[in-house]
Structure 1
């Protein structure tokens, strides 16, 4: 096994974006691809490392960029300022992540009939919106993602299967919001799953998360279990 990784530039209109990709170059045939959407801070080492982990599983992993080449937040205030325009304009969000889907299909190592997407926090919302817009991909996985339904409803059938991995005590997704999300997925006739982890709050996959007052705390058991659930889901949808 030899994991090759690099960055690649791509465009959304006039906005230059930079993704980090990784794959096992010992595998000769074209491989399924997995997009990875970052948290509100931008594409950082957390998602780059997730790309390397996915490459070891045999996928072409593509850690996408929602903000622009080299743009990273350095504080909660900066992160919020970067994220908010996409929360306010979900069509802009969907266009931006769709640009990543287009870009990953152009990579020569990718089986473009087998593409999925995973996302963390804000990135969870991004991949859920990719599914909501009716994008042609096999499935999406949201890790402690924001679940808010967009105001504009899709006019396209939702073809992607959906797996939402959620902390039961996540302050950023109330019980009412979770219930609304489940009903939304049902109304859209999605093949969906929601896994909840007890005594678990937001950002449970991030070892650096340690802010109980904000409701963001790492939890190893939930991290391990959710990653295993993702692996099972990807194996199923790519079979």
Structure 2
């Protein structure tokens, strides 16, 4: 089922796609005055957090459309499989963290779905991801997809997939990290830096002080668990991302 909404010049639509082994549901956003089959635009895929593709991911896709890209919020859980943004979504995320090869296959399926859209310039693709989606963005870089020019990990998880020797990473990598994030402590940050350096990646990591996990999520308010919205860090991270995407996709 396809649902399409148009507001001023921005169009949003939900379209099913084959997510490797699951039927998935992608959320698209684009400016109809800029993106067309005659004038395809670069695509920025949005990787969801552990609760699955929710309104926050739709809002991020809309932001990408405002920036002139085609925004595509992927779905690595499958159609109708959604969690609770404020709850414990371990049952959803755990199987994919335990099988990173399966996760990679679902991520690559999402990229193929994006490239197949006639509104998309298939040679210019980027990925942004949040929390679990930040891990997914890094996994896309590790998968070495030539069309993916850059990936951005917002308060992501850093552990490598351990899927064999890592070939050189060709996507530019931007990591936006809260230094006080308990899910990615300083030693994990240093390990990621070494990993990206050994993979010959063009990488940068911005660590924001006095900043915890989920710092871009306005609803994050569990400081006792290390989750807290930090508006200054969020603002800086988005500004850095906008410049990074311009560099990657121009």
TM range (shorter): over 0.9
Query: How far did 1:76 drift?
Result: 3.1
Q: Which residue does the alignment assign to 1:18?
A: 25
Relative to 1, partners in 2 of residues 1:235 and 1:202: Cα closer, same or farther, differing over 3 Å? same
Q: Work out which of the residue numbers 137, 142, 160 in structure 2 matches 1:149.
A: 160
Cα deviation code 1:53-85 (max 9, x no counterpart): 1101100000000101121113633x1110011
Conserved 8 A contact 2:20-2:105: no
Pick aligned residue for 2:129 from 119, 124, 129: 119
1:67 aligns with 2:74: no
What do the CA deviations read for 1:109-164 (whole angstroms, capped 9, x no partner)? Answer: 10001000000000000010011011221010000000111222345431100000
Which residue of the other structure, out of 210, 219, 230, is the alignment partner of 1:199? 210
> Structure 1 residues 149 and 14, CA, compared in 2 at 3 Å: closer, same or farther?
closer
* Mapping 1:1-239, distance limit 5 Å: 2-27=9-34, 28=36, 29-74=39-84, 76-77=87-88, 79-136=89-146, 137-239=148-250
SS in 2 for 1:70: coil
* 1:175/1:155 CA distance change after superposition, 3 Å: closer
Query: Counterparts of 2:20 and 2:151 in 1: how far apart (Å)?
Result: 24
Contact preservation (8 Å) 1:132, 1:154:
no
Q: Tell whether the 8 Å contact from 1:2 to 1:24 is kept in structure 2 after alignment.
A: yes
Paired residues, number: 238
- The whole-number CA distance in structure 2 between the counterparts of 1:227 and 1:188 is 26
CA distance in 1 between counterparts of 2:24 and 2:177 reads: 29
- Stretches of structure 2 that go unaligned for 5 or more consecutive residues are 1-7
Determine helix, strand or coil for the equivalent of 2:217: coil
Between 116-125 and 27-36, the greater mean CA deviation after superposition: 27-36
Scaled by the length of structure 1, the TM-score of the pair is 0.97
Distance 2:167 2:121 in 1: 23
**RMSD over equivalenced CA pairs, Å:** 1.1
Cα deviation, residue 12, structure 1: 2.6
With structure 2 as the length reference, what TM-score do the two structures score? 0.93
Q: Counterpart of 1:76 in 2: which secondary structure?
A: coil
2:166 and 2:199 in contact (8 A); partners too: no
* SS of residue paired to 2:15: strand
